[in-house]
């Protein structure tokens, strides 16, 4: 894994820069759906991405196979996850079924995409990626930023989204075929999302990506979002940084429970648990020492810097260079498939204006590539 220097991309080895740039589409797909019926909303999504979703599934199918998972295991896990979704939120299951209908795939294949984190938790060789999140909670906040760091093979398989017609309109980004990930809704509720890892992670609960979509599609405040999360059957791990115009909460989600993380001016998250109960069962070998190094590095930067005045001031805090922890992440082209991570996107969320600003690139490209700004209401 290589990192970007502070500033322009000129300091990066040309082969690494080209390796990432060559996998981005010339223009990132934007999907807008508007239907009160969740199946119809899903069908519209699937139809809009009819060519893209099968290609995304093919990438994940390869990851699952490289991870030692059999086709029967993949399908069984996907169907179990879908049953858990249907028991908790029938509307979310209906939307998944609609995506399958629109994309021309089997329902279990779309369920597998939505449960990709949970299915990959059973892998023996495919490690998860990494992300770094900052939310300023004091001053004129809250507002936040994060990198979405994931396998470079998925660089072409995500899109920006506007979802209308449900209880809440929300905007943000997600992967092709997946209900939700990072975003903000028309109530000004924002959600940043990081993956965590616990020894008990598995199938049987609500997939983290589906839960993120449910929160964005339903919650009118941080308090309502926390209530949804606490009532959800959770069998895997993740972190939601939740914030609105008046409140903020950082949660450790795990099979052993949901735990709030104390905040002091900022919510700062990488990829390890920050509360003792889930930390006792953490898959530390997946993320450490990298996750701790990144968090300590950004915390030191925040302590030394002037407090950011707006979300636009945050991406620079996520730029890193040679010899620094890889907060800005570029793939190493010498590594095999499944071991090449990149900062595929940089996202800022601003509850005061109900906007998500999405950069198809790394924090170091914040001044050189265009941002797409979406408003939820």
Please give the pLDDT value at position 126: 63
pLDDT given at position 373: 98
Considering only CA atoms, which of 28, 298, 59 is closest in space to residue 172?
A: 28
Cβ(249)–Cβ(230) under 8 Å?
no
Residue 366 tokens read as 């914040």
Q: What is the pLDDT of residue 183?
A: 98
Mean pLDDT check: name the lowest of 49-63, 203-217, 322-336, 337-351: 322-336
For the segment 49-76, the average pLDDT, to the nearest whole number, is 95
Q: Which residues contact 334 (CB under 8 A, 6 or more apart)?
A: none
Long-range contacts of residues 29-33, Cβ cutoff 8 Å, at least 24 apart: 29/159, 29/160, 30/159, 30/160, 30/161, 30/162, 30/372, 31/159, 31/160, 31/161, 31/162, 32/161, 32/162, 32/164, 33/161, 33/162, 33/163, 33/164, 33/165
Return the pLDDT at 217. 98
> Can you give the pLDDT at residue 6?
44
State pLDDT tens for residues 203-232: 999 999 999 999 999 999 999 999 999 999
Q: Is the pLDDT of residue 181 over 70?
A: yes
C-alpha 373/C-alpha 353 separation (Å) is 11
1 or 261, greater pLDDT: 261
Is pLDDT of 8 > 60? no
Average pLDDT, the chain: 92
77: pLDDT confidence band, cut at 50, 70 and 90?
very high
Give residue 128's pLDDT: 65
What the block records as the tokens of 16 is 């690494």
Residue 3 has pLDDT above 60, yes or no: no
Tens digit of each residue's pLDDT (9 = 90 or more) over 262-300: 988 899 999 999 999 999 999 988 888 989 999 999 999
Query: How many whole angstroms separate alpha carbon 306 and alpha carbon 288?
Result: 29
- Reported as a pLDDT band with limits 50, 70 and 90, residue 140 is confident
In DSSP terms, 358 is beta-bridged to 347, 372
The model's confidence at residue 16, banded by pLDDT at 50, 70 and 90, is: low
Residue 203 belongs to what H/E stretch?
Answer: none
Model confidence at 249: pLDDT above 90: yes
Six-digit token string for 306: 């002037």
Residue range 337-345: average pLDDT?
89
pLDDT of 125 > 80? The answer is no
Of 106, 127, 120, nearest in space to 77 by CA = 120
pLDDT at 1 over 60: no
Confidence of residue 4 (pLDDT cuts 50, 70, 90): very low
Is the predicted pLDDT of residue 9 greater than 60, yes or no?
Answer: no
Predicted confidence band of residue 138 (pLDDT cuts 50, 70, 90): confident
Mean pLDDT of 84-103: 98
> What's the confidence (pLDDT) of residue 296?
96
Contact 234, 201 (CB under 8 A): no
Q: What is the mean pLDDT of residues 290-319?
A: 94
Residue 21 has pLDDT above 80, yes or no: no
């Amino acid at each position: 894994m290589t990192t970007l220097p502070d500033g322009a991309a000129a300091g990066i080895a040309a082969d690494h820069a080209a390796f990432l740039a060559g996998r981005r589409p010339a223009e990132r797909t934007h999907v807008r759906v508007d239907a009160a019926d969740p199946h119809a909303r899903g069908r519209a999504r699937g139809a809009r991405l009819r060519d893209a979703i099968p290609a995304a599934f093919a990438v994940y199918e390869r990851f699952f196979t490289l991870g030692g998972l059999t086709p029967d295991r993949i399908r069984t896990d996907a169907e179990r996850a879908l049953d858990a979704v249907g028991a908790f939120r029938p509307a979310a299951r209906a939307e998944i079924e609609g995506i399958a209908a629109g994309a021309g795939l089997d329902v279990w294949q779309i369920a597998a995409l939505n449960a990709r984190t949970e299915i990959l938790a059973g892998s023996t060789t495919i490690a998860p990626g990494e992300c770094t999140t900052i939310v300023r909670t004091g001053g004129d906040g809250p507002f936040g930023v994060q990198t979405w760091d994931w396998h470079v093979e998925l660089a072409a398989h995500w899109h920006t989204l506007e979802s209308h017609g449900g209880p809440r309109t929300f905007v943000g980004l997600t992967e092709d075929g997946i209900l939700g990930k990072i975003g903000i809704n028309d109530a000004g509720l924002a959600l940043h999302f990081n993956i965590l890892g616990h020894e008990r992670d598995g199938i049987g609960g609500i997939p983290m990506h589906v839960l993120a979509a449910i929160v964005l599609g339903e919650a009118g405040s941080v308090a309502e979002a926390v209530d949804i999360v606490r009532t959800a059957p959770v069998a895997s791990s993740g972190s939601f940084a939740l914030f609105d115009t008046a409140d903020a909460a950082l949660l450790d989600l795990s099979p052993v429970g949901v735990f709030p993380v104390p905040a002091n001016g900022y919510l700062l998250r990488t990829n390890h648990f920050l509360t003792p109960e889930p930390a006792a069962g953490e898959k530390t070998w997946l993320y450490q020492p990298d996750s701790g190094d990144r968090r300590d590095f950004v915390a030191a930067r925040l302590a030394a810097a002037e407090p950011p005045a707006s979300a636009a001031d945050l991406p620079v805090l996520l730029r890193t260079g040679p010899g620094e922890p890889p907060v800005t992440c570029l793939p190493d082209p010498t590594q095999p498939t499944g071991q090449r991570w990149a900062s595929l996107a940089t996202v800022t969320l601003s509850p005061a204006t109900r906007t998500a600003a999405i950069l198809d690139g790394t924090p170091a490209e914040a001044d050189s590539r265009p941002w797409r700004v979406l408003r939820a209401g």
